[in-house]
Amino acid sequence: MELTPEHLQVAFNAWAAAQDGGGVVIEEPGRYPAAHELAEQGWLERRFEPDGAMSWWWTPAAEGALDVNALLESAVGRQN
């Protein structure tokens, strides 16, 4: 999957909200396709809020992917 600017914006907003234990409700209908695609790939989880609004939550798998990427990036150039 090639990430578009919309994917990156939605993912960043969900990641930022997750830092405080939250999710995001998308206000811009044009970003729903990107959010659905990220959810299909396992980066986001869909949930419904008590008022019926759909919210998007950063997943543990997404956090794990970022952690693995950071680990691999820190190992570039190292020789043991």
Residue 10 CB burial class (10 angstroms; 0-12, 13-18, ≥19):
buried
| 6/66: higher pLDDT | 6
**DSSP-based helix, strand, coil % in the chain, nearest 5:** 50, 15, 35
Is pLDDT of 50 > 80?
yes
Is pLDDT at 69 greater than 90 in this prediction? no
pLDDT score at 16: 95
Mean pLDDT of the 50-55 span: 94
Where along the chain do its domains lie? 8-19+42-59
pTM score, two decimals? 0.80
Residue 66 has pLDDT above 80, yes or no: no
Q: Which residues contact 54 (CB under 8 A, 6 or more apart)?
A: 25, 26, 46, 47, 48
Other Cβ atoms closer than 10 A to 14: 25
